[in-house]
Amino acid sequence: MPSKATAAKPGKSPGRPPADSPAAIFRALIQRHLVSTLARHEGSATPRDWWVATALAVRDTIHERMIATQAVHNANNVRRIYYFSLEYLMGRLFGNNLLATGLMDTAKAALASLGQDFEKIREAEVDMGLGNGGLGRLAACFLDSLATLDYPALGYGIYYEFGLFRQAFAANGQQVEHPDNWILFGDPWEVARPEYTQEVRFYGRIENVFDDHGNYRPRWVDTKTILGVPHDIPTAGFGTGTVNLLRLWASKSSEDFDLAAFNRGGYVEAVREKAIGETVSKVLYPNDKTETGKELRLMQQYFFVACSLRDIIRRHFRNPANSWKNFAGKVAVQLNDTHPAIAVVELTRILIDEHGFTLAAAWEIVGATFAYTNHTLLPEALEKWSVGLFERVLPRHLQLIYDINAQLLKAVETKWPGDNEKKRICSLIEENGHKQVRMANLAVAGSHAVNGVAALHTDLLKKNLFPEFDALYPGKFQNKTNGITPRRWLHKANPRLSALITKKLGSAAWVRGLDQLHGLEKSAGDAAFQKEFMAIKRANKVDLAAVIKAECGVDVSPDALFDVQIKRLHEYKRQHLNLLHILALYRRLLQNPGLDIVPRVFVFGAKAAPGYDLAKNIIRAINVVGAHINTDPRIGGKLKVVFLPNYRVSLAEKIIPAADLSEQISTAGKEASGTGNMKLSLNGALTIGTLDGANVEIKEEVGDENIFIFGLNVDEVAALWAKGYKPWDFYQADEELRAVLDWLGSDFFTPGEHGAFALVHDSLLSGGDPYLVLADFRRYCDCQARVDAAYRDKAKWAKMAILNTARLGKFSSDRTIREYAKDIWSLKPVKV
């Protein structure tokens, strides 16, 4: 118990809870952590101190549940899913953990009685941004659903010292990257587990050795070792006792590494090598296709996979009932993209080199263990590693890849005798010129299931990317449409709407069963309900307007239409198509100041990979054009354009509840699924989008009349390319398009600086417009005009928005995870 000196003065704070109430007990817990853990006097505690103390108080409950969960799982020797991902975009954990444990109201009351502002305190948490975008956020949503649905699960990944960079904008609108030193002040959620440290070997050479029976038993020698130290983050299920783990590996140099260096070069050299050991987990790679430092990236992949597999094997054999015979019966591993695909080879290597398996026997266990999720069809995003690099870093693995490839090509020969083209396509090694290892082919060959992430994407995966593998392995390919966790993306992010839904449905059960939102449909046409629903939207817009004012210094009206595009900056996502439409509207207003358009606030949030110059040029163009529009008195404030800096999960949670319109305008065939589209629609934003990724399925769910679809579909895109696409034809044929492109290409927006937006301008014309921006421009503008018209009819818009929320149940990650559990993992829930 806190001493009298540290406790708040009785009677002074508002509504001090009765001594034995949950809030009073929790309050004492916060005070105890403030004093005993943080050594802080209440009077000098910062919001961050209060946040840490409160987080630790919640963590007490979470740890109890975590210990209980692991005890039940271990005692029952359960089958588990191990999720391998190089990225986890967790965001903040505070609110989520409070809701999961049912302590939200208790904590609020406790903090209020201590005179602390809950909202201010939760802002002290730095996002855990160990991912780039959708892929990493999917992993985080999956962990939430796995725990909530009581599936025994562990996430494995890397404990990056620096997550995705922090984004700022320079005075000229250019993106500036700052390091994200998220761990600087420590992380109250994590527990380091040095006792489970693993050793990982790199480099070295192969010694050709034969055993007593004349079997080839190669030895991997002269390797360098680094250590992996696990850091556990508990992932708490909502409204259930299950708490699973996210286990992240931090690299450390090993002692013998140091010693060898010490003997060679003395103290300074030893310290230098120690730094190399720690470099492996230093920084998350930005999603940058022209990345340098490929060797380090390959080392990261192997490092976390090797640590994780050893950890899985250690845990498996801890139970004397277990053996290699039941390994695949107890262990299911899901590969989140090809980033961890080297795991397939590492398990093969462990089985053959350390446990005496034949390749055929090892490969059987491997195939039964792994499954692979493909996230992209973009050729530049399909991972390949040069054979030379592999040979240097992982020589034994390269040998095994050749052995595995020989088997694979035998199967191809059996299926298509004499067909060398088929062999060339299926081979794990790309032979044209520079030899490369194809990680996607390796992942397909080593997995019993391969899934795409939306129906359309899986279709294209089978038809365009892997038709040969689909024929070779019938039934291996399947679809698992992505989802999002309703806990974070509605219940936590939009408390007002969450409360209204609970009131309307008469229970909060929808938080764990999102299909129940269908119950709102019958009220979609009800004027009173529409009013409540839209009043919440407006209140959320008022909140976002305050954020916009604070971050961008721009005043926006909550009565304008909030038109939102938030996602990584990439040409295929076509933020520049949005920009061209903004320019067109601005020009129309300049030419006709009385023009009657619905006032709009265009909200952007996006980071561009630091080496992706064109993407950064698009950001600058939006910032500069936006600043110009925002300060032009001639248009009467009808248009505002704001680019909120440092887009991340916690910012997404503030933008999404306030969105009226969701921009999902990728070139058809390029967005595998998207999940931002689901978050926005679930929160009552209407989608303007192409028939791409999960937009197709959102349209099926909400109905054609509740979504704005435009543009070329996948077949039309293919036909246009086949015919020969010339952006100049569209430029010449469309007066407005020509005008806005010329405008963008001029120095109108950057007086005295010529060619400021040449990168984006030229990519659309002389650059051939690879993502068909000009081809879709006119139909996009026409569709935006339909949005404008629909927004004027308040009742109609409200009904459409409500029906979006009501019909989005399918896109809960709970549904996705149940499908994985049933069709891929054969996994049963275990109640704790």
The residues that are catalytic are 375, 567-568, 573, 675, 679
**Distance from C-alpha of 799 to C-alpha of 539, rounded to nearest angstrom:** 18
**Spatial distance between the Cα atoms of 138 and 128, rounded to a whole number of angstroms:** 14
340 to 369: interface string for ligand PLP, x by CB under 6 A = ------------------------------
The pairing of strands 686-689 and 661-664 is parallel
In whole angstroms, the minimum distance from the beta carbon of 670 to ligand PLP comes to 11
Closest contact distance (angstroms) between CB of 291 and ligand PLP is 19
Shortest spacing between CB 319 and ligand PLP, in angstroms = 38
Residue 506 CA, distance from chain mean position: 33
From the list 26-34, 132-140, 179-187, 543-551, the region that binds ligand PLP by CB under 6 A is 132-140
Which of 674, 689, 727, 809 contacts ligand PLP by CB under 6 A? 674
Q: Inter-axis angle of helices 495-505 and 527-552, to 10 degrees?
A: 170
| Residues whose CB falls within 8 Å of the CB of residue 458, separated by 6 or more in sequence, listed in order | 451, 452, 477, 478, 479
* Smallest distance from ligand PLP to CB 466, Å: 23
Q: Which of 204, 446, 676, 711 binds ligand PLP (CB under 6 A)?
A: 676
Give the distance from CA 633 to its chain's centroid.
Answer: 40
Number of residues that bind ligand PLP (CB under 6 A): 13
Using rule CB under 6 A, residue 652 touches ligand PLP? yes
Burial of 290 (0-12, 13-18, 19+ CB in 10 A): exposed
Per CB under 6 A, 649 contacts ligand PLP: yes
Give how far Cα 586 sits from Cα of 91, 560, 632, Å.
36, 15, 10
Q: Which one among 16, 33, 137, 537 touches ligand PLP, defined by CB under 6 A?
A: 137
- Decide whether 80 or 92 has the Cβ nearer to ligand PLP: 92
Number of other residues whose CB lies within 10 A of the CB of residue 314? 11
| Among 129-137, 396-404, 721-729, 780-788, the segment contacting ligand PLP (CB under 6 A) | 129-137
The answer to the question of residue 163 lying near ligand PLP (CB under 6 A) is no
CB of 488 to ligand PLP, least distance (A): 9
| 689 in contact with ligand PLP (CB under 6 A) | no
Residue closer to ligand PLP by CB (options 93, 270) is 93
Residue 648 as a binder of ligand PLP (CB under 6 A): the answer is: yes
For ligand PLP, the closer of residues 422 and 492 by Cβ is 492
Residue 361: CB atoms within 10 Å: 14
- Half-sphere exposure at residue 790, Cβ-oriented, CA atoms within 13 angstroms: 22
Task: Candidates 623-631, 647-655, 744-752, 769-777: pick the segment binding ligand PLP (CB under 6 A).
Answer: 647-655
Q: Among 17, 95, 133, 657, which residue interacts with ligand PLP (rule: CB under 6 A)?
A: 133
By DSSP bridging, strand 370-373 and strand 331-336 are parallel
Using CA atoms, how far residue 209 sits from 213, 217, 401, 531, 754, in Å, is 11, 5, 19, 78, 66
Pick between residue 285 and residue 303 the one whose CB is nearest to ligand PLP.
285
The span from the CA of 656 to the CA of 660, in Å, is 9
Residue 654 found at the interface with ligand PLP (CB under 6 A) = no
Contact between 567 and ligand PLP per CB under 6 A: yes
Query: Taking the complex as a whole, how short is the minimal distance between the CB of residue 122 and ligand PLP, in angstroms?
Result: 17
Stretch that binds ligand PLP, among 133-141, 178-186, 438-446, 588-596 (CB under 6 A): 133-141
Are 79 and 217 in contact, with CB atoms under 8 Å apart?
no
CB closest to ligand PLP, residue no? 676
CB of 568 to ligand PLP, least distance (A): 6
Interface with ligand PLP, residue 452, by CB under 6 A = no
Which residues lie closer than 8 Å to 301 by C-beta, 6 or more apart? 86, 339, 340, 341, 342
The whole-angstrom separation of Cα 832 and Cα 366 is: 30
Question: Residue 674 CB, nearest distance to ligand PLP (Å)?
Answer: 4
Q: Which of 312, 249, 347 has the alpha carbon at shortest distance from 81? A: 312
| CB distance 188 to 56 below 8 Å | yes
Stretch that binds ligand PLP, among 321-329, 409-417, 672-680, 747-755 (CB under 6 A): 672-680
Task: Return the amino acid letter for 744.
Answer: L
Which one of 287, 369, 485, 675 is in contact with ligand PLP (CB under 6 A)? Answer: 675
Nearest to 175 by CA among 644, 549, 507, 556: 644
Give the nearer residue to ligand PLP in terms of CB position, either 137 or 761.
137
Q: Closest separation between CB of residue 352 and ligand PLP, Å?
A: 39
Which residues form the interface with ligand PLP (CB under 6 A)?
Answer: 89, 133-134, 137, 567-568, 648-649, 652, 674-676, 679
